[in-house]
Structures are given as structure tokens and as C-alpha cells.
């Protein structure tokens, strides 16, 4: 082992060496590792790593390398190793080591999702061929490290709003679709963008409401996170006519079993670099532990509750269940803000009273406009397109203005909570 190559042991790394990028190499070929270390001495420190998946994952967590090399001399085992690394560290670049002349190795590396295949051992080991191989290795690694560095330091960090539903049928999908489009229209004027992540159940309701087909599903996004760049996001996400980006759950919900809580949160965090605001619809999603992890990543958390006692009871139960599912190590104990939906003053249930019963701050009251909303959907449009002055649209647009950081103009938009208080007072007097 050369001086540029260290065994994987924290105590063997000096303070100066610790400042250099670490490049882990999972290989049982000492000569190959030595040549790799010599070729990359100017860009980082090559460290020998385990070829056992569990041990390699631990070593990656400890060393925080810039990238990982995996030897593909045994393609089947190497493919499994790459899968484990990608599952635990979706953004970490993996480079396959092996001979380009062996078709089986090249194909296996490509299918495994390796960023590239590096052949550090030319067939004819002449000094000239060895030098060319070393220069090629240096160029490839420098390029991939630069790309990874750019991804880890995004130019922007967008906001994340999560919508929960007290129970099925609370109108979360309808609100999420209308809110996201209205938000996109506001952000679009500033050359900014929004995305709707429809993770609620029933799956992919937003595609019907927005009349937009989504080819990229959340499962795909999680497992392709390392490929995310501006080009990929621009081409892979479905787009509504407003410019809103859309992603849904897969048709086969069993695929979500391979998505860990950490990977889901990491995906949302990664998307902050590409969208100024994400609206995440979690209405109807029954895995409370999954929901509780996503909530931890949210900047804004809204709970949608119908204006009736049954929905209020469900909302209280949901809040209790989420508190129980919260990670014991979590330091966040905030409660969601309440949106009272389908409010009809004639039903004699004040939104303020509902919020007080739940112990939640009231952020908005949305009027009952079922017929108008259904009529718009039947026309393949949103209510905001067919009736922009509708009370529901004005109330939702006030929420969009809040998320966009814009003031709500009293002449055009009435703050929904204030409107609810006014209508309640008038009804009480009557």
C-alpha cells in the first residue's frame, strides 16, 4: 500500500489529511488500489474500504467521502454493493472499477447506476498507456467531484409546505391543486417556480384535477436522487399549463416499501434547490411514522378539517397519533395550523370555536363551494380558471399570497379568517 493510500481507520488519519477529500475504494486488488491512489494523489486521499455492504455503509458514514469506488471484478456482488450504497446515501457518487474491454462489467456497472466506469489498468501496460489511464482517472474524478460539490451547495433553498387532512374527503387534494397553481402564478411573475408533490391517498388525484399526466413518481425520484440537476428536473417532472411541476405516488403503492423515511426527507430537502416552494399533499396517507418524519422537514404545516364535529374528532385523533409517532429524539413540538374547509355559516359552527376546541391556531376558513368545484373539474379546469372571483378562489389565493411572502390586498382579497369572524358575527345577530 502506498503512502497515498490509508487503511480505513480514523486514528491513522492526520489532521492535514483529514482536510483532504476522501475517496473510498471497495476492492480486494492491492495493485489496483495503489495505481488509483497514485493517479489521484492531487485531488484526494484514496482509502481502502470493505467489500461487505454493512461494513462499507458504516465506513461511508464515518469518513464522509467525496465519492466511492467499487470494484466490479465480480459484477453480481458489486451490483448489490452499489445498491446498498445508493439506498443509504442517494447523493453519493459511485464509480465502478473494471476493464472496459469486458462487456459484462461495463453493462453491470451501467445497470447498477454507477456514475461512470474507470479502467485504471490498460491491457498493454506500457508507460504511455499507464500515463493515459492515470490522466483519464484524474479527469473523470475531478469532474464528478465538481458536479457533486455543486449539488451539495445549491444556490437556493426553497420553502416546504405540508398539507394534512383530518380524514378522507376533507378536500386536501382540491386545496393542494388550487393552492399550488395560484402559488405558481404568483412566483412565476418573479421567475420562480413551485412544485406539487401529491403523496396523498387516493394516489394521483392531482393528475385528474390538473389534467396533467405524471411520469415521474416519488419512488423514482428517491432512487434517482443522485441524477438530480436542473436538466433532469426540467425534463422529468410533469408540468401543468401554469408552469407548476407535479409528482405523484406510483400506481403500485407496494413500491413505496423500499423508500426509507430518511431517503424521503432527503429527497424533499434536495428538491429545495430546484423549486422556490414545494406543496406536499399528505391527505389520507395512513403511515403516521412516515408522515411524522416528513413533517419535521416542513417550514409550514397546515391541517385541513371540515366544518363539522366528526371531522374535528378525527383531527384531534390525528394530532394525538402524530405526537405519539414523533421521533423520541426530535426537538420539534410544534402543532399544525388549522384550515377550516367547507364552511357554511348556516351550520352554526364557528371556525374559531373549532380551532379553540382543537387547540390549534386558525389560519384560514374556506367556504363550502362543492358544486362550483365539481363543475370546474368536469370542465377539465380548476375553479380559479373558470371563476377567479369565486369566494373559494379568493380565500385560497390569500393563502398563496402568504406562502409567496406577499401582502394580501384588502381591495381584492379578504383574509379568510377575518371573513369568517365577520360572517359569524352577522349570523349571530340575525
Q: In which band, very low, low, confident or very high, does the pLDDT at 157 lie, cut at 50, 70 and 90?
A: confident
The residue among 312 and 228 whose pLDDT is bigger is: 312
168 and 110 share a domain? no
| Euclidean distance between CA atoms 157 and 173, whole angstroms | 25
The answer on pLDDT for 14 being more than 60 is no
Q: Which residues, 6 or more positions from 380, have their beta carbon under 8 angstroms from its beta carbon?
A: 211
The residue among 227 and 309 whose pLDDT is bigger is: 309
Number of domains present in the structure of the chain: 2
* Distinct helix (H) and strand (E) counts, the chain: 18, 14
119 and 178 share a domain? no
394 and 286 share a domain? yes
Query: From the centroid of its chain, how far is CA 120?
Result: 36
| Euclidean distance between CA atoms 256 and 369, whole angstroms | 34
**Which of 107, 123, 152 is where one domain is finished?**
152
194 and 249 share a domain? yes
Contact between residue 67 and residue 95 where contact means Cβ atoms under 8 Å apart: yes
Cβ burial 180-211 (10 Å sphere, 16+ → b, else e)? bbbbbbbbeeeebbbbbbbbbbebbbbbebbe
390 and 254 share a domain? yes
CATH number at residue 30: 3.40.50.2300
Q: Which residue stretches of 26-119 are H helix?
A: 30-39, 53-63, 75-88, 103-112
361 and 377 share a domain? yes
Q: What percent of the chain has pLDDT over 90?
A: 53
315 and 237 share a domain? yes
Q: Which domain holds residue 76?
A: 5-152
Q: In which band, very low, low, confident or very high, does the pLDDT at 333 lie, cut at 50, 70 and 90?
A: low
295 and 199 share a domain? yes
Q: In which band, very low, low, confident or very high, does the pLDDT at 317 lie, cut at 50, 70 and 90?
A: very high
| Euclidean distance between CA atoms 312 and 292, whole angstroms | 20
The answer on pLDDT for 408 being more than 80 is no
The answer on pLDDT for 98 being more than 50 is yes
Identify the pLDDT of residue 124. 74
334 and 186 share a domain? yes
**Which of 104, 132, 152 is where one domain is finished?**
152
Q: Of the given ranges (92-101, 226-235, 346-355), which has the lowest mean pLDDT?
A: 226-235
Burial of 54 (0-12, 13-18, 19+ CB in 10 A): exposed
| Euclidean distance between CA atoms 252 and 379, whole angstroms | 28
30's grid cell: 492491492
To the nearest whole number, what is the mean pLDDT of the chain?
85
CATH number at residue 206: 3.40.50.300
To the nearest 5 percent, what fractions of the chain are helix, strand and coil?
50, 15, 35
Identify the pLDDT of residue 62. 79
123 and 201 share a domain? no
**Which of 152, 168, 202 is where one domain is finished?**
152
Cβ burial 237-260 (10 Å sphere, 16+ → b, else e)? bbbbebebbbbbbbeeeebbeebe
Backbone angle region of 110, left / alpha / beta, with phi > 0 → left and psi within -120 to 50 → alpha: alpha
Give the mean pLDDT of 255-262: 84
169 and 120 share a domain? no
Q: In which band, very low, low, confident or very high, does the pLDDT at 165 lie, cut at 50, 70 and 90?
A: very high
173 and 119 share a domain? no
| Euclidean distance between CA atoms 10 and 280, whole angstroms | 41
What digits encode the pLDDT tens for the residues 47-90?
999 999 999 988 988 788 889 999 999 999 999 999 999 887 87
Identify the pLDDT of residue 328. 52
Q: What percent of the chain has pLDDT over 70?
A: 87
Cell numbers 371531522: residue: 311
- The four Cα atoms 43, 48, 51, 52 give a dihedral, to 10 degrees, of -110
| Closest CA relative to residue 355, chosen from 427, 404, 307 | 307
pTM of the model: 0.64
What digits encode the pLDDT tens for the residues 362-373?
999 999 999 999
Amino acid at each position: 500500500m502506498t503512502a497515498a493510500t490509508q487503511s480505513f481507520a480514523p486514528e491513522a488519519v492526520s489532521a492535514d489529511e483529514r482536510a483532504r477529500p476522501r475517496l473510498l475504494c471497495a476492492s480486494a486488488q492491492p495493485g489496483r488500489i495503489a495505481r488509483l491512489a497514485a493517479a489521484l494523489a492531487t485531488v484526494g486521499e484514496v482509502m481502502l474500504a470493505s467489500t461487505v455492504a454493512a461494513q462499507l455503509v458504516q465506513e461511508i458514514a464515518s469518513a464522509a467521502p467525496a465519492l466511492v469506488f467499487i470494484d466490479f471484478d465480480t459484477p453480481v456482488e458489486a451490483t448489490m454493493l452499489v445498491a446498498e450504497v445508493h439506498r443509504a446515501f442517494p447523493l453519493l457518487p459511485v464509480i465502478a472499477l473494471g476493464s472496459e474491454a469486458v462487456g459484462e462489467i461495463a453493462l453491470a456497472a451501467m445497470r447498477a447506476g454507477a456514475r461512470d466506469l474507470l479502467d485504471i489498468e490498460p491491457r498493454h501496460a506500457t508507460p504511455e498507456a499507464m500515463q493515459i489511464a492515470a490522466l483519464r482517472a484524474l479527469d473523470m474524478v475531478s469532474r464528478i467531484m465538481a458536479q457533486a460539490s455543486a449539488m451539495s451547495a445549491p444556490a437556493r433553498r426553497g420553502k416546504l409546505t405540508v398539507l394534512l387532512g383530518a380524514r378522507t374527503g376533507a378536500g386536501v387534494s382540491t386545496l393542494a391543486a388550487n393552492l399550488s397553481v395560484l402559488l405558481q402564478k404568483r412566483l412565476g411573475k418573479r421567475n420562480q417556480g413551485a412544485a406539487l408533490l401529491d403523496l396523498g391517498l387516493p394516489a394521483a388525484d392531482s393528475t385528474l384535477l390538473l389534467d396533467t399526466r405524471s411520469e415521474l413518481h416519488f419512488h423514482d425520484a428517491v432512487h434517482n436522487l443522485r441524477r438530480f440537476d436542473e436538466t433532469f428536473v426540467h425534463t422529468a417532472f410533469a408540468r401543468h399549463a401554469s408552469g407548476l411541476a407535479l409528482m405523484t405516488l406510483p400506481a403500485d403503492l407496494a413500491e413505496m416499501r423500499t423508500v426509507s423515511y430518511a431517503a424521503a426527507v432527503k429527497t424533499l430537502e434536495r428538491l429545495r434547490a430546484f423549486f422556490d416552494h414545494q406543496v406536499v399533499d399528505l391527505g389520507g396517507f395512513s403511515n403516521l411514522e412516515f408522515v411524522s418524519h416528513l413533517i419535521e422537514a416542513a417550514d409550514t404545516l397546515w391541517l385541513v378539517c371540515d366544518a363539522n364535529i366528526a371531522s374535528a374528532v378525527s383531527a384531534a385523533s390525528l394530532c394525538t397519533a402524530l405526537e405519539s409517532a414523533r421521533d423520541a429524539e426530535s426537538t420539534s413540538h410544534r402543532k399544525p395550523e388549522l384550515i377550516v374547509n367547507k364552511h357554511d355559516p348556516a351550520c352554526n359552527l364557528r371556525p374559531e370555536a373549532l380551532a379553540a376546541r382543537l387547540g390549534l391556531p386558525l389560519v384560514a376558513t374556506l367556504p363550502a363551494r362543492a358544486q362550483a368545484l365539481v363543475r370546474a373539474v368536469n370542465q377539465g379546469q380548476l375553479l380559479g380558471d373558470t371563476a377567479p372571483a369565486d369566494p373559494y378562489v379568493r380565500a385560497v389565493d390569500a393563502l398563496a399570497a402568504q406562502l409567496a411572502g406577499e401582502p394580501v390586498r384588502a381591495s381584492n382579497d379578504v383574509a379568510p379568517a377575518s371573513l369568517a369572524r365577520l360572517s359569524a358575527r352577522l349570523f349571530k345577530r340575525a
